[in-house]
């Protein structure tokens, strides 16, 4: 895993953050050192995808980057047929994803689409995953996207959203930010790297409060909304589309 040194050199002018080839080459290291509980969240997401997937439907991974979820799903489904549509705007990320897939396997259908998630038509979906991606979308377009996801889901579908979040109480929000910066220092990032990346993300990554996420999901029609994982300013939310008998959750699925 190549070490993330993208912001290690002092820059005269900080450009907006981009998922370019330089970032794609070090993205795994960036994720592990920048996203608390990343591996755990990925494994639990794959578990939830498998539990809620309905045969003959599609799984959508919006902002799929270089395919960590898709690779994990191949192991979790253990030969059970599934169709996954991975969407990302970064060609370098999708190139890396494609190289990780290996030769085609019977019943495993992974389609990679280079495009904006807000332009994708969601149809016949039983599970949709948005991992650290909604926060990069223009806030004015977020309600419309979540509404279209709901409309494109089959009854009983599941939406998984993991995002950085902000807290409406300034004292708590400041505390969460301080704890997160310390987390990054403990993972080997310098104060210069932390500061320059923050500046690069300032007008690109615009987080919501948890309450905003809940209200948006409710307006779209989702029910049974829950925060299933939270670490200070990182939150993972699940939301179900009604209209199907409750699933009987078992250990062997």
Average model confidence (pLDDT) for the chain?
95
Cβ neighbours of residue 198 closer than 8 Å, sequence gap 6 or more: none
Residue 61 belongs to some domain of the structure = yes
Of 232, 233, 238, 236, the closest CA to residue 217 belongs to 238
Residue 182 belongs to some domain of the structure = yes
The predicted model gives 113-125 an average pLDDT of 97
Pairing of strands 82-88, 58-62: parallel
Residue 1 belongs to some domain of the structure = no
3-class SS string, the chain: CCCCCCCCCCCCCCCCCCCCHHHHHCHHHHHHHHCCCHHHHHHHHHHHHHHHCCCCCEEEEECCCCCHHHHHHHHHHCCCCEEEEEEECCHHHHHHHHHHHCCCCCCEEEEEEECCHHHCCCCCEEEEEEECCHHHCCHHHHHHHHHHHHHCEEEEEEEEEEEEEECCCHHHHHHHHHHHHHHHHHCCCCHHHHHHHHHHHCCCCCCEEHHHHHHHHHHHCCEEEEEEEEECCEEEEEEECCCCCCCCCCCCC
Percentage, residues of the chain above pLDDT 90: 91
The predicted model gives 60-72 an average pLDDT of 97
The predicted model gives 159-188 an average pLDDT of 98
Sign, Cα dihedral of 89, 95, 100, 102: positive
The predicted model gives 27-53 an average pLDDT of 97
Residue 180 belongs to some domain of the structure = yes
Residue 10 or residue 249, greater confidence: 10
Residue 108 belongs to some domain of the structure = yes
Least confident of 34-43, 163-172, 210-219, 243-252: 243-252
Bridge partners, residue 223, by sequence: 240
The predicted model gives 59-77 an average pLDDT of 96
Residue 14 belongs to some domain of the structure = no
Q: Can you give the pLDDT at residue 245?
A: 76
Number of domains in the chain: 1
Residue 46 belongs to some domain of the structure = yes
Note the pTM of the prediction, 2 decimals. Answer: 0.96
Distance CA 27, CA 15 (A): 18
Distance CA 147, CA 222 (A): 9
CATH code: domain of residue 123: 3.40.50.150
Q: What domain range is 188 assigned to?
A: 21-240
Distance CA 197, CA 184 (A): 11
The predicted model gives 151-179 an average pLDDT of 98
């Amino acid at each position: 895993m190549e070490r993330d040194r993208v912001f290690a050199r002092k820059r005269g002018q900080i450009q907006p953050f981009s998922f370019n080839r330089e970032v794609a080459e070090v993205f795994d290291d960036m994720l592990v050192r920048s996203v608390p509980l990343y591996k755990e969240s990925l494994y639990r997401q794959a578990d939830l995808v498998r539990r809620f997937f309905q045969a003959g439907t599609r799984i959508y991974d919006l902002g799929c980057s270089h395919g960590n979820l898709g690779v994990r799903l191949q192991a979790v489904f253990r030969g059970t047929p599934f169709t996954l549509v991975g969407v990302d705007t970064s060609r370098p990320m999708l190139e890396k994803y494609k190289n990780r897939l290996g030769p085609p396997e019977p019943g495993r259908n992974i389609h990679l689409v280079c495009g904006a998630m807000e332009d994708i038509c969601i149809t016949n979906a039983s599970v949709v995953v948005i991992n650290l991606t909604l926060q990069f979308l223009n806030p004015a377009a977020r309600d419309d996207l979540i509404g279209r996801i709901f409309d494109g889901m089959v009854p009983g579908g599941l939406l998984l959203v993991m995002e950085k979040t902000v807290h409406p109480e300034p004292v708590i929000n400041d505390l969460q930010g301080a704890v997160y910066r310390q987390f990054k220092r403990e993972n080997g990032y310098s104060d210069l790297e932390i500061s320059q990346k923050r500046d690069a993300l300032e007008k690109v990554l615009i987080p919501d409060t948890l309450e905003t996420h809940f209200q948006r999901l409710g307006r779209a029609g989702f029910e049974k909304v829950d925060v299933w994982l939270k670490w200070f300013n990182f939150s993972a939310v699940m939301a179900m589309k009604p209209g199907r008998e409750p699933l009987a959750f078992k250990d062997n699925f």
